[in-house]
Amino acid sequence: MYMNKPVIGFQNIYRSYAKDVFRFAFWLSGDSDEAKDITSETFIRLWTTKNDIVVETVKAFLFKIAKNLFLQKKRNQKQNVDLDENIIDSAPQPDTITEVRSELQNVLNAMQKLPEIDRIALIMKTHDGLSYQEISRVLGISVSAIKVKIHRARLKLALLTSIKKDIQNENHK
């Protein structure tokens, strides 16, 4: 089924996928404002595309646009994203919330250390629920390569987060 972008169809797509695109953009950039910009620009590009959109693959198509926008912004900025200022709230919180935030920060920092393509593939699979085939289409590499990248990313992420946890435990003794 193809869609030639009637307004109602576009509004339905926006309502259905805007939050997913935002979350994906946030995981890529680590910055809420940048994720909002990427999300807006993604839907502008969807609206202005001259090609028909295959409704069955619209989510993968949106993620591909968002990924390309992120990479374009990153090339233009030529700087690393610093997650620290965006994630940790400096206001005093109960211990459990602080612990959870610290753990989340550790995971986000570890995610930023993964190779970019591996990080993107892992996010698409675990967070956005895309199939290996959809990820393959978005990233333009084979399904088997996607499986390997996701497996290696999970292993490296587990290693990086466990090392960080061990260091923190040593510091608290």
Per-residue pLDDT reduced to its tens digit, 99-157: 777 777 787 788 888 888 898 899 889 888 889 998 998 889 999 999 999 999 999 98
Torsion sign, CA atoms 160, 164, 169, 173: positive
| Nearest C-alpha neighbor of 115 from the set 95, 73, 145, 85 | 145
pLDDT at 1 over 50: no
Count other Cβ atoms within 10 Å, centred on residue 96: 8
Per-residue pLDDT reduced to its tens digit, 25-48: 998 888 889 999 999 999 988 888
From the candidate CATH numbers 1.10.510.10, 1.20.1250.20, 2.60.320.10, 1.10.10.10, the one assigned to the domain spanning 91-173: 1.10.10.10
CATH number for the domain running over 1-80: 1.10.1740
Q: Which residues contact 124 (CB under 8 A, 6 or more apart)?
A: 24, 63, 130, 134, 135, 138
Domain with CATH 1.10.1740 in the chain: 1-80
Domain with CATH 1.10.10.10 in the chain: 91-173
Percent of the chain with pLDDT over 90: 24
For residue 134, the 8-state DSSP code is H
3-class state of residue 58 by DSSP = helix
